[in-house]
Amino acid sequence: MKKVGLFFGSFNPIHIGHLVIAEYMAEFTDLDQIWFVVSPHNPLKIKETLLHENKRIRMVRLAIEDDTRFKASNIEFDLPRPSYTINTLTHLNQKYPKLEFSLILGQDNLATLHKWKNYEALLRNYKLYVYPRVDPKPVPEALAKHPSVIITEAPIVELSSTFIRQAIAAGKTIKHMVPPAVAEYIEEMNFYKSLSAPNLPK
């Protein structure tokens, strides 16, 4: 059975940090394919800060191009909002019964997993591949050593979509922070230029 790692995110925009994590998971774990699941509305984020989901998934598709190890998924676009991971997984299992799904998440998300809807069911039924963060929140030992949790040594890239949005708003180049095709699309569409840009070095 093909093993698919689900990498959920707003991808607002997708950047090289996301791609480094996906590359690691595809090459250094037993996952066969990585799906970038674009979230139309993360219940823990402010909806107004997001580009429309069709624009964000377009950027993901531009970023991964024709790499068969990766796939851009809009599975949540037609599901009830806000999106909850457990609901999405239930839908995916029904739609793709021959695939084995796992989750890819950061250590900070693992630390707050107890806030997720039906998180016990996630731990009971799915594997969680966890990548490290620069300043990780402490994870309870019982959770870190849970048989469903796989702590990986993926490279840490200290880059965020928030920083990129602020850099664009400040008129800075993001040339090497996102794939070239994504940078061209952002420039063409004038994305993020009207946002405020606090806390950036001059």
The pTM for the full model equals 0.91
Structure tokens at 151: 């702590």
- Which CB contacts under 8 angstroms, 24+ apart, belong to 48-51? 49/12, 50/10, 50/12, 51/12, 51/13, 51/191
pLDDT in tens, 63-114: 999 899 999 999 999 998 888 999 999 999 999 999 999 999 999 999 999 8
Each residue's pLDDT tens digit, 10-67: 999 999 999 999 999 999 999 999 999 999 865 555 555 679 999 999 999 999 998 9
Do 42 and 70 form a contact (C-beta atoms < 8 A)?
no
Query: Where do the domains of the chain lie, and which CATH numbers do they carry?
Result: 2-158 (3.40.50.620)
Helix (H) or strand (E) holding 35: strand 33-38
Distances from the Cα of 40 to the Cαs of 11, 12, 43, 52, in angstroms?
A: 10, 10, 10, 8
Residue 196 has pLDDT above 50, yes or no: yes
